[in-house]
Structure 1
Amino acid sequence: MGFARELNFLPGDTDVDVRIGLEFTNNRAAFDAVVVLVRLFAQNGFRLMRETYLDGRPMQTAFAHRENDNTIFDIYYFYSGVSEGRYVNANDFGYRRKPRHLIDNKKSLSWPGYATLKVNVPQPVEDYLAWRFGPEWRTPKKNWELGPVDNACIEPLPQVTVLTYGTWDLFHQGHLRLLERAAALGDHLVVGVVSDELCAIKGKQPSQDEATRAAAIHALPFVREVFIQRMLDQKEFDIERFGAAHLVVGDDWINHPRFEQVRDYRGVELHYLPRTPGISSTSLRAELTAGSRGP
């Protein structure tokens, strides 16, 4: 961001913004990074202005130079491993899910006027600014002038997150009804799709691959997040990273240790919802198999 301002992409703002990518699973590394940064900035004449945290994880650290309060050095921490293909940062006002290509596609360039000072800049920088500030990013605006169009990348924080899993092979009305009932428990439905590899480990042979099955879930307007489940024992991690208040499972799994062991984990409420009778992926696969054999 600072680099873009120096090149007059965003004139009139003296703040310098830096993004640091961290793994969500390594909370200790995030705290260690903040401690090191505060010490280094203090040694170079900067004072700590503010820190923000969400669910115990650092999200922002801001510094100002002791002799020049007009320039704010803002560091934002974005976490991988929360949202598929994205890095996530959040505060009390909302969260941003930065597409991974805006992190991975970067180039080391010299800061204007300082040939030896190298910074990693998203490439092309125009794509990054369009994601962050919307279609009007070339129009100079102060922070208090930014409206919904400029802040479209900031999504409201969910109030009640619902988490569920499934293979979702040959998506049918039974799947739809279960997901609709799950969505009614909150305002942010997160759906895990069992990976092809995990299906094989469990002895399942879905007719569709994981990408096709996930696409069917993505297409549902009431689903807010879709991810690929790659491990059997990742439920505690998913409850934590998504902040789930409810975990929904079909009633064919009732009292199964795999789900009972996470009952009340971080306050999550476990629900076993009834399946729709008379329809299942298994029966649909059998019908397709029989049909392919002919009379």
Structure 2
Amino acid sequence: MRTIITYGTFDLLHVGHVNLLKRAKTMGDYLIVGLSTDYFNTLKHKQSFFSYSDRKIILESIRYVDKVIPEKTWKQKKEDILQYQVDTFVIGDDWKGKFDELCSFCEVIYLPRTDGISSTIIKENLRDDS
């Protein structure tokens, strides 16, 4: 069984998120999503519209996702890869090069983002409409 892991905030879920999850799932048999907790988002100077628990429920309802785990720190990725015996670490290409040295025994893949959509764009458009 090939295990894939990805991480993110997944706030204001949109087609770009679904595309990332779908492509990640095609790379293996079991997809784990590390979901940034509200506290971790605060440390990253980010604020989600939806709470961690709501974002977790939403992600768990997506057919490509097999397991959702809380992401609490930057350093936890390496521990998760070992604990869950991950074969492939997948993340958006806006992080290209940041995780190349993450794991000596797993593959790191940077997937291209879906053009024209992001949570930041959605939030900006919502502000413009008000």
Aligned-pair CA distance for 1:241: 1.1
Which of these residues, 146, 164, 167, is aligned with residue 9 of structure 2? 167
Structure with higher Rg: it is 1
Residue identity in the other structure for 1:260: D
Whether contact under 8 Å (1:196, 1:209) holds in the other structure is yes
How do 1:246-285 residues align onto structure 2 when only pairs under 5 Å count?
A: 246-256=88-98, 259-264=99-104, 267-285=105-123
Letter in 1 for 2:57: A
Q: Is the 8 A contact 2:93 2:110 kept in 1?
A: yes
1:198 aligns to 2:36 (yes or no): no
Question: TM-score, normalized by length of structure 2?
Answer: 0.95
From 61, 67, 72, the equivalent of 1:230 is 72
What is the CA–CA distance in structure 2 between the aligned matches of 1:208 and 1:288, rounded to whole Å? 15
What is the deviation of 1:271?
0.2
Q: Paired residue for 1:217?
A: 59
Cα distance in 1 between the residues matched to 2:128 and 2:61: 29
Task: Please list, as runs of the form range in 1=range in 2, the aligned pairs for 1:1-295 lying within 5 A after superposition.
Answer: 159-256=1-98, 259-264=99-104, 267-291=105-129, 293=130
- How many residues in Structure 1 have an aligned counterpart in Structure 2? 130
Superposed displacement of residue 261, structure 1: 2.8
Structure 1 contact 207–285 (Cα < 8 Å) conserved: no
Q: CA deviation at 1:263?
A: 3.6
Residue 260 of structure 1 and its aligned partner are, at CA, apart by: 2.3
Q: Is residue 246–residue 268 contact of structure 1 (8 Å, CA) maintained in 2?
A: yes
Q: Name the structure, 1 or 2, with higher relative contact order (CA <8 Å, separation 6+).
A: 2
Could you tell me whether the CA contact under 8 Å between 1:189 and 1:224 is conserved in 2?
yes
Alpha-carbon distance in structure 2 between the residues aligned to 1:260 and 1:269: 9
Kindly indicate whether the alpha-carbon contact (under 8 Å) linking 1:245 and 1:268 is maintained by their aligned counterparts in 2: yes
How far residue 209 of structure 1 moved from its aligned partner, in angstroms, is 1.1
Question: How many angstroms apart in 2 are the aligned matches of 1:165 and 1:273?
Answer: 12
TM-score (norm. length: structure 1)? 0.43
**2:35, 2:68 within 8 Å by CA — same for their partners in 1?**
yes
Percent identity of the aligned residues? Answer: 37
Structure with the higher strand share, 1 or 2: 1
Give the distance between the partners of 1:286 and 1:195, measured in 2 at CA: 22
Matched residues in 1 for 2:11 and 2:109: separation?
22
Question: Conserved in 2, the CA contact under 8 Å of 1:247 and 1:269?
Answer: yes
Give 1:235's aligned amino acid.
Answer: K
Please, which runs of 5 or more residues in structure 1 have no aligned partner?
A: 1-158
CA–CA separation in structure 2 for the residues paired with 1:229 and 1:171: 17
